[in-house]
Each structure stands twice: as structure tokens, then as C-alpha cells.
Structure 1
Amino acid sequence: MSIIAFLVIGLLAGLLARALMPGNQSMGLLATTLLGIAGSFVGGFIGSFFNSDGRILDLHPSGLIFSVIGAMVLLLLVGFAGRSRRVRI
């Protein structure tokens, strides 16, 4: 897969994940793209459990779905990490 296609799929996955997650995620376009790319890796890892050959980085028809799921998992983890740093009075 080319780098441009990888970036476009990452951007789409990041945008979809941010749209589906409740709450306010204050991220720019670059952070959203990086979230989607990282979500693609996480989603590929999750998707490899359901695939018989177990390859992580191969392109699958359900790749965008697992990329969005992976990006949502990362958003959830970042939300939990950011919540513990706030001082509550």
C-alpha cells in the first residue's frame, strides 16, 4: 500500500473514531491522522485474531472498520490517561 493511501485511510479512521466517540477531543488534523494510523496498527492486530493467516499488516476488506475500532480504543485510553492528571478541588 502506498504512503498516500495509508495516510488517507488513517485520516478517515481518525475522523470516524472522533465522530463516534462521545465527548470533546480537541485535536488537529495531524493528530487525527496520527490517531487513525496508530488505530490502523491496533485494528490490524485485533483483526489478525479473526483471520486465519494471522498477518497484521496485510490489507483486508474490513481494514477500515478495525482501524476505526483501534482508533476508538486509543481515544479511550488517552481519555483515561488525561483524566487522572487533572486536579480536582
Structure 2
Amino acid sequence: MGFIGWIVLGLIVGALAKAIMPGKDGGGFIITMLLGIVGAVVGGFVGKLVFKTELGGFFNIRTWVLAILGALIVLGIYRLATGKKITS
């Protein structure tokens, strides 16, 4: 996947992670994108370590599932680090 692909994936996955794990977060668009990109990397690492698989291409379902899983992990850590409480 190219650089633009990672940015698009990160933006979409970051937004999906925030939709799955609702709450008020600061930072807006940039933080969402960065959380998604880092989440995709973390998801790739988790997939390689736990499931013995790696991220595939942009349109591969495995890529999206691992990226969303990683983004949820990163979002949870971000909220713990910034002291944000998870509220509906």
C-alpha cells in the first residue's frame, strides 16, 4: 500500500474506531487520522504476532479488520493517557 493508501485507511479506520468506541476526544481530524494510521500498524503487528498473518492490500478484508482492531487498541491507550472517560 502506498503512502496515500495508508492515509485514507487511517482516516477511515480512525473514524470507525471512534464510532465503535464513542466518547468525546479532542484533536479532531488530524488526531483521528494519526490514531487510525498507528492503529493499522499496531493491527498489523498484532495480526503477525497472534494470528500469524499480515496486512494485505487496501481492499482486503483482513487488512480492515486488523486495522480496526489496532485502532481500537490505540484509541483505548490514547484515552487512558489523556484521562478521557468513555461515555456514551
Note whether the superposition's TM-score is higher than 0.5: yes
| Per-residue Cα deviation, 1:11-50 (whole angstroms, up to 9, x for no partner) | 1110000111032122311111111100001000111131
Is the radius of gyration larger for structure 1 or structure 2?
Answer: 1
Superposition deviation, residue 83 in structure 1: 2.1
**2:21 equivalent in structure 1:** 21
Amino acid at match of 2:34: L
After superposition, the CA RMSD in angstroms is 1.9
Provide the rounded CA distance (Å) in 2 between the counterparts of 1:22 and 1:6. Answer: 23
Q: Give the aligned residue type for 2:56.
A: L
> In the aligned structure 2, how far is the partner of 1:78 from the partner of 1:7?
19
- Structure 1 stretches of 4+ with a deviation exceeding 6 A read none
Unmatched 5+ stretches in structure 1: 85-89
Q: Give me the TM-score of the superposition, normalised by structure 1.
A: 0.77
TM-score by length of 2: 0.78
Q: What is the correspondence of 1:4-43 to structure 2 with a 5 Å cutoff?
A: 4-43=4-43
Q: Distance in 2 between matches of 1:34 and 1:74?
A: 10
In the TM superposition, what are the counterparts of 1:47-62 in structure 2 within 5 Å?
Answer: 47-48=47-48, 49-51=50-52, 56=54, 58-59=55-56, 61=60, 62=62
Identical pairs, percent: 36
